[in-house]
């Protein structure tokens, strides 16, 4: 049992309480699978492609959120707005060409989140409050610049992000690339090791020679870059952009990160686990759509799933 529990939820010891949590977790996954496969139309190509698209858009943001959570900063409530802002930048700069517009959108995401990471890392500010402030600034600035109007492509070219390669939506390919890049950073770079160490024990990380403030800022920069990718993909899909484009994506992203097994306190997790969490969250979303649930009910059920995961984690740790 100990080996199985370690595989599914790393860090679990062989205790009765944690065995109970493991059984509940497995039961929940089996229940979800049964509920999903009993949904009419779930096993079809349209549903499969809908799942791929849902995974892609949520997933890019979730990969970025993984880095923030690993450093012990829980989450950012501004990644959805960063996604929306990057989409506006991409659409407005298409006159320069698709590639320059794409690069500018990514740079926008990096700069916006780098500023947040700098404030959190060097000034030790509360990450939730900083993200709320960033959200307000992004929404307010966008309102002034766009007068609350939607932005449309300034030139053609965005259609390339709606194409398919070997039948697979290019958005899904972008997501799988972000997963690969994210996991490589965590597994094979000094920054990845530092993020995990900072989340586990900031003082030990500093004693080991890591500059925690810089590492935290890098984590936020990566989150901004990956969120901007999702912004470009979404703006291309809908052919327009506004600040509502990324609404709810930060909540779904943190849900995917936690459902995947990354510790909410930081220091334990991976992008691969986030991929599993994203798949679960996206599957729930597709099933709810097929069953005719409203957007409000989708938010509610996703929130309940995240709450259940947090409670199970607390129970497993004996809190």
- Domains in the chain and their CATH numbers? 1-38 (no CATH), 54-316 (1.10.3470)
Asked if residue 127 lies in contact with residue 73, where contact means CB atoms within 8 angstroms, the answer is yes
pLDDT in tens, 88-97: 999 999 999 9
191 or 7, which is more confident? 191
CA distances from 282 to 18, 72, 259, 285 (A): 27, 25, 12, 5
Distance CA 105, CA 93 (A): 9
pLDDT in tens, 231-246: 999 999 999 999 999 9
Entry pTM: 0.88
Residue 261 predicted with pLDDT over 90: no
Asked if residue 84 lies in contact with residue 139, where contact means CB atoms within 8 angstroms, the answer is no
132 or 319, which is more confident? 132
């Amino acid at each position: 049992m100990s080996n199985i529990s370690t595989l599914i939820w790393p860090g679990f010891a062989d205790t009765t309480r944690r065995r109970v949590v493991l059984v509940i977790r497995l039961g929940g996954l089996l229940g979800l699978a049964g509920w999903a496969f009993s949904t009419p139309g779930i096993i079809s190509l349209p549903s499969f492609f809908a799942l791929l698209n849902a995974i892609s858009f949520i997933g890019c943001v979730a990969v970025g959120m993984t880095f923030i959570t690993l450093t012990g900063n829980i989450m950012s409530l501004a990644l959805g707005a960063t996604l929306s802002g990057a989409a506006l930048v991409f659409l407005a700069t298409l006159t320069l060409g698709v590639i320059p517009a794409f690069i500018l959108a990514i740079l926008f995401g990096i700069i916006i989140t780098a500023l947040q990471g700098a404030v959190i890392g060097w000034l030790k500010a509360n990450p939730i409050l900083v993200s709320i402030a960033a959200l307000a600034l992004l929404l307010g600035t966008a309102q002034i610049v766009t007068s609350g109007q939607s932005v449309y492509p300034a030139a053609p070219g965005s259609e390339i992000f709606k194409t398919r390669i070997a039948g697979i939506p290019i958005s899904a390919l972008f997501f799988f690339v972000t997963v690969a890049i994210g996991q490589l950073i965590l597994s094979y770079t000094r920054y990845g090791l530092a993020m995990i160490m900072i989340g586990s024990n900031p003082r030990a990380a500093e004693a080991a020679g890591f500059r925690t403030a810089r590492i935290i800022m890098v984590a936020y920069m990566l989150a901004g870059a990956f969120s901007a990718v999702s912004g470009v993909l979404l703006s291309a899909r809908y052919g327009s952009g506004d600040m509502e484009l990324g609404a709810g994506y930060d909540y779904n992203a943190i849900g995917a990160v936690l459902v995947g097994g990354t510790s909410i306190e930081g220091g334990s997790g991976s992008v691969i686990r986030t991929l599993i969490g994203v798949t679960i969250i996206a599957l729930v979303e597709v099933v709810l759509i097929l069953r005719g649930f409203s957007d409000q009910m989708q938010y509610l059920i996703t929130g309940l799933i995240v709450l259940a995961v947090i409670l199970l984690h607390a129970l497993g740790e004996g809190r």
